[in-house]
Amino acid sequence: GFDLVTRTLEISISDETKDIVIEAAVFDTVEEKTVNTAVLYQLSSRNATNPEIIKMPNGELFVFVGIQVVVSSAINDASVVLRSTDNGKNWTTDSNGLVDGSGLKYSAVYDSVVVDNDIYILANATDDVNTTAATSTLGVHILKSIDNGQNWTSVKNLNYETGAKLSEGSIESTKDGFI
């Protein structure tokens, strides 16, 4: 036989001081110990929301984190995207956040599913980060990437299509489409 070493990636966000510190810890479940920790991102006077870890079809890891300005009522200030090509050992930051091909910005990612090497995610475009966008473009979208998260296209705006006032959700692939 052989020993299978399982590692999990955990993202923690500290905003006790209203500063964001995003750290990753790789935990070896066989040895029951943390084998690697790293500060991935730091930003002052902001809150972090909705961290989501997504594995791309090519194996790269993405972490999407919504960023909010600290004011009396929190306002979304877009997102930050962190990427690892080596299972979480090293990370790069895309401070442009999650933006689709039309320029619409997304402040939160909720779920993902891979279908035929394309990745689909559920993401929210709010008027807080898209102050000049038409109301019909805002809401929870299904986004698709055919190049492992390099570029995104909105496939469907669920709020506009259904008439519902969605703010988040989950996505699953079925033989007939998505639920």
Reduced to 3 states, what is the DSSP secondary structure of residue 59?
coil
- Per the CB < 8 A criterion, the answer to whether 47 and 18 are in contact is yes
Residue 103 φ/ψ region, left for φ over 0, alpha for ψ in the -120 to 50 degree band, beta for the rest: left
Task: Give the pLDDT of residue 52.
Answer: 83
Reduced to 3 states, what is the DSSP secondary structure of residue 167?
coil
Consecutive 10-residue runs of the chain (179 residues): their mean pLDDT? 45 58 71 74 68 88 76 61 82 78 82 91 74 69 92 88 81 76
Task: Give the pLDDT of residue 6.
Answer: 47
